[in-house]
Amino acid sequence: MARKQFDLIVFDWDGTLMDSTSTIVRSIQAAARDLGLPIPRDEQASHVIGLGLQEAMMAVMPDMDPAMYPKMVERYRFHYLTKDPELVLFEGVRAMLTELSQEGYFLAVATGKSRVGLNRAMNAAGLLSVFDATRCADETFSKPHPAMLQELTRELGQDLRRTVMIGDTTHDLLMASNAGAGAIAVEYGAHPIAQLQTCQSLYSASSVAQLHQWLSENA
């Protein structure tokens, strides 16, 4: 059957495929606590999810002494890695990715994670062979800069106009807009629905099941 709209489907990782939002928030807060710094509120910490780690720390604590950012990153990594083995994919993600792959879509990931972190997470989830390409924040510009999507389409020989970015943050949706790609919001991750609604998207899914159904019928 002919494609309806897209050939390449790009997913964010944390909060979109992996149920990791609360762990990231707690790890940011624990890092600040370790260093005797003001502890960001939940909504402050969740807002920076999706950015590169250094950018995230600068955004969540903009008034901090710049010399403290590397220490925040180190303490964040310590706390996150202790919880990393416990993280799981959202229910329905594996079936959705398997079906999309079998239907011949190119699948990719664009994430604020580091390359080491993404490879570890994908290997633990058994998804290394599912994606045709991936791009991480320590390899290029952080979201919402369009570079990740531009590089993925070039690598796979695809057209940005037939590419859709799926994510749980405004960083994802703005990156898609900046790149000239389509965007789909998911409402079960880091950013509240009201924030997601400030960005242009083709669809907003309240669950993986809704996302899967929309992609099956429209992508």
What are the residue numbers of the active site?
A: 12, 14
Tell me the torsion sign for CA atoms 151, 156, 162, 168. Answer: negative
| Angle, CA of 23, 28 and 32, to the nearest 5° | 145
Three-state DSSP state, 49: strand
CA gap 89, 8 in Å, rounded = 21
Asked if the bond preceding 144 is cis, omega within 30° of 0, the reply is yes
